[in-house]
Amino acid sequence: IEYVTGILGNDVSASACTDLNGDGLITVTDGALLANCYNTQDAHDQSPHVLHYHPWCDYPRGWLSTLDTAWLSLGNFDPVGKTVDIFLKNPNSRVLGYEFDLSGLTIQSVENLSPNVMNEMAVSSSLGGTKVIGLSYIDSSIVKSSAPMPLCRIHYLTLTDAQICIADIADIVNEDANNIIHHGTGDCLTVPNTVVVDMKAWLEGPFSAGQMNDALRAATLLPASEPYTGLGFSHVGGGGGETVLAGVFDVTGPDAVVDWVMVELRDANAPATIVSTRSALLQRDGDIVGMDGTSPVVLFATPGNYHVALRHRNHLGVMTASAVALGATATTIDLRTAATPTWGSEARKDLGGGAMGCWMGNTVQDGQIKYTGSFNDRDPIISVIGGTAPTNVVIGYYREDSDLSGIVKYTGSGNDRDPILNNIGGVVPTNTRTEQLP
């Protein structure tokens, strides 16, 4: 158990005491060798014997059994249940343990499907990880099969690509805890009706000197789950309920998370119609990524042409001027530059130096920036800080925090009120600015 836990946590290293087969690596094979030692010794102790010779516990030991071969493959993808099955074909030997990595998804949990070891094969993974380890800690192993048979079922958290693949097979071990020949690395399953978007954008509020600040993340104010459902944004096509993986908010530097955003696919001929949505993470350098903090955004939609829109909780949304061809290979859409045309007129603000960003200040979240009148964006700021003393401030994750500093201010330097007036022209308080989305 400690071997499996150490491998999944990446906190065990090879040494004379831990590397039981002497290959310089720590894998399921080392755990299998230790289990084999205990189980074989126990069976030996239960039977009469004269010779006290115990080679099964002498390390390093083990070898590659070139006469034994096993194959891993993928199947039974269920996008509704969010599962995919792994199959094993092992015609030459029984299997005591296995270790492999997947790509294209992050794992929530794994369950054993091999019937003859249903209560004996421990299948392990880490939440949000990609590695799976199966190992029988008792004297039991998976029976031989000349045809692919269900091995385990992956319950995934989120898809990170339009293909799910067996990225690597570390080891498969036979009933004697020896490595066997294995195949299946690179086997992939195409996820039906998905498209991948490599999107980039600037938000005016946190933008300065060619990048955005990550004040919300640094102050641990970012929510672990997407905020847009709770704020009344409409998710469709499988979007909504996204939760960030552990450790993503710990990243610093250009890939640090600035805030949550929402990506929309809209009908090519009727761009007011939203086909699919996905909550995503915006990084300091403008990259928009999935819940693992590195992958492009995967949306559920038939490959084809779509207008792609970006929404934010207190910045005006923006959309591509024309439909973009999307498919299983990531399509880059860079909204940071004027070279990418957008729908409508002045949909983005010129931030200087060729940078274009989403307009800040829509605290009412109605698609319009207003300084005075009904449903203006200024009054919510004074309200959230108490409603009476304009010099008060409040710290937290608020829509009224126009610059995403984590501090809502009505007056003073860096306040959230002045940018609203500036973005409607800076002179006439009754002017408005309207979001350029159909």
Could you tell me if 162 and 215 lie in one domain?
A: no
pLDDT tier, 107 (very low <50, low <70, confident <90, very high otherwise): very high
* pLDDT at residue 333 tops 90: yes
Average pLDDT of the chain is 93
Look at residues 141, 140, 146 and name the one whose alpha carbon lies nearest to residue 92: 146
Could you tell me if 265 and 347 lie in one domain?
A: yes
State how far Cα 68 lies from the chain centre: 37
Phi, psi of 379 (to 5 degrees): -60, -40
In a domain, 292, yes or no: yes
Mean pLDDT on 314-337? 98
Could you tell me if 181 and 214 lie in one domain?
A: no
How does pLDDT run across 54-66, given as a tens digit for each residue?
Answer: 676 777 888 899 9
* pLDDT at residue 52 tops 70: no
Could you tell me if 138 and 225 lie in one domain?
A: no
Which residues form the domain of 208?
Answer: 194-357
Could you tell me if 172 and 207 lie in one domain?
A: no
State both tokens at 107: 């794992």
Q: Are 407 and 394 in contact (CB under 8 A)?
A: yes
* pLDDT at residue 423 tops 90: yes
pLDDT tier, 208 (very low <50, low <70, confident <90, very high otherwise): very high
**Which of residues 357, 386, 420 is at a domain's end?**
357
Mean pLDDT on 75-89? 94
State both tokens at 410: 């009505």
pLDDT at 46: 67
Residues 6+ apart with CB under 8 A from 289: 280, 281, 283, 295, 296, 297
pLDDT at 31: 84
Could you tell me if 276 and 334 lie in one domain?
A: yes
In a domain, 410, yes or no: no
pLDDT tier, 305 (very low <50, low <70, confident <90, very high otherwise): very high
In a domain, 381, yes or no: no
CATH code of the domain containing 9: 2.60.40
How does pLDDT run across 4-51, given as a tens digit for each residue?
Answer: 787 877 777 878 878 878 888 888 888 888 887 767 666 656 676 666
Task: Give the H/E segment covering residue 7.
Answer: helix 2-9
Q: How many domains does the chain have?
A: 2
Could you tell me if 331 and 212 lie in one domain?
A: yes
In a domain, 432, yes or no: no
pLDDT tier, 405 (very low <50, low <70, confident <90, very high otherwise): very high
Judging by beta carbons within 10 Å of its beta carbon (0-12, 13-18, 19+), is residue 82 exposed, middle or buried?
middle
